[in-house]
Amino acid sequence: MKYKLVSDSHDALTGMRLAGIEGVFVSSAAEAEKEIGKCIDDEEIGIVLVTERLAESCAELIDSVKLTKSRPLIVTIPRSKRSQVDDNIMRYVREAIGIKI
């Protein structure tokens, strides 16, 4: 099972790459929906990480996937501008791949 990040943040993309998670940078909701669609079609991808801003702009697609498909699991990564969020991202990485950064 693979992880894939769909991000509109270069910082999130770099951080996840350091943790061994491949990802793609997108700049619009249409690009994000296209990339999420590719993840749905790829049988090897089990978890898709999506940054919060993109998840908000693609809410209908994400909700549809969560309600109708058993795979992939779509996890929203919160924005990193809030003080508590950094701890949440690190917790996500630690839980997802089992290492502490």
48-67 confidence digits (pLDDT tens): 999 999 999 999 999 999 99
Q: Residue 73 is encoded by which pair of tokens?
A: 């699991």
pTM exceeding 0.95: no
pLDDT confidence of residue 83: 47
Asked whether 74 and 62 are in contact (CB, 8 A), the reply is yes
pLDDT confidence of residue 84: 54
Q: Enumerate the domain spans of the chain.
A: 2-97
pLDDT confidence of residue 46: 93
pLDDT confidence of residue 54: 92
Domain 2-97 CATH assignment equals 3.30.365.10: no
Q: Residue 63 is encoded by which pair of tokens?
A: 């909700």
Q: Residue 23 is encoded by which pair of tokens?
A: 């990802």
Q: Residue 32 is encoded by which pair of tokens?
A: 């994000």
Question: Distance (Å, rounded) from C-alpha 30 to C-alpha 58?
Answer: 8
> Residue 85 pLDDT > 70, yes or no?
no
pLDDT confidence of residue 79: 75
7-16 confidence digits (pLDDT tens): 998 988 998 9
